[in-house]
Amino acid sequence: MIPAGAQHSGKYSAGNSPCRSGGIPGAGPIQIKDSPEMPYDRNTDSPDTPVSLFRDDNMDAWLFPVISSRLRGMLGTDGRSYSSAGVLSIPVSLPGQLFAAEELLGGDSALEADISWHPAGSGFELKLFSNDPAKLARLLTELTGILQRDSARRVRVYTSLQPGPLLRRHLAAGQQDAIAVIDAASRWSSIGLAERLLSRYPDAGLSLRAERSYCIISGTSAQLASVLPGLTRLADQQQL
């Protein structure tokens, strides 16, 4: 669960299109407005009916404007007072999902999120809870858009100089660690690109850890900041 009001300052970036404050590449900061400024207008003939927000071979996003008694057990909402829920399900777990979720969702005290992320094979599932179905619809639409664009890139690079609870829990970042993730879709491609980068900064003092299809570079925020220009160039070169 992302704690209510959790603060984070990670940057979600992929190649030469860094996302500012968790937004769409090049689109500027995200502005999440309350319902009165952007009315919830989906399925107006039956506003309580579940709505499919996005579906393809890789992602499935649903909005439940009203959580019925039948759904409470399946959504895990027993003991919670929220009236609406949204669900995003993806069959494969990738590190970019965590960076995008933390950046988009970690700072809203009126929102609660349950995230299941298992790189061993059971995929990624996000459940969002709020009393504002319009906000849930906007957030899920924003998140699916980011992940869809990200999936088209050959090499994905993510950085966080101050990882929040979500990244620390799933990517095993220490309390003092800043992290960068290189996801080149295979273990050895990711390792090779990371080693190519680190060989250019022999005195940076950073460590490298490999996972199934990506690798993690970690160190202090100052150490990682010193190689960020190299990370950006590396990702840019791989998109050509």
Give pLDDT tens digits for 18-62: 332 232 222 233 333 333 333 445 555 577 899 999 998 889 999
Distance CA 235, CA 240 (A): 9
Do 128 and 168 have their domain in common?
Answer: no
pTM reported for the whole predicted model: 0.79
Q: How far is CA 100 from CA 46, 79, 143, 206, 240, in A?
A: 31, 28, 7, 24, 24
Unique residue bearing structure tokens 């199934």: 212
Look at residues 126, 151, 176 and tell me which one is the last residue of a structural domain. Answer: 151
Distance CA 194, CA 182 (A): 7
Kind of pairing, strands 156-160 and 51-55? unpaired
Do 59 and 144 have their domain in common?
Answer: yes
Do 42 and 124 have their domain in common?
Answer: yes
- Is pLDDT of 11 > 70? no
Structure tokens at 33: 């407005």
Number of domains observed in the structure of the chain: 2
Q: How far is CA 231 from CA 52, 83, 122, 148, 159, in A?
A: 37, 43, 30, 22, 9
> What would the DSSP string read from start to end of 115-159?
EEEETTTTEEEEEEEES-HHHHHHHHHHHHHHHHHHHT-SSEEEE
Report the largest interatomic distance among the alpha carbons of the chain, rounded to a whole angstrom: 63
Weakest-pLDDT range from 22-36, 65-79, 123-137:
22-36
- Is pLDDT of 97 > 50? yes
Is 201 within the bounds of a domain?
yes
Strand partners, 87: 62, 127
Q: Give how far the C-alpha of residue 11 lies from the chain's centroid of Cα atoms, to the nearest Å.
A: 10
Question: Domain of 198: which CATH number?
Answer: 3.30.1360.20
Look at residues 104, 127, 151 and tell me which one is the last residue of a structural domain. Answer: 151
Do 119 and 34 have their domain in common?
Answer: yes
Is 112 within the bounds of a domain?
yes
pLDDT score at 86: 97
Q: Tell me the residue range of the domain where 119 lies.
A: 29-151
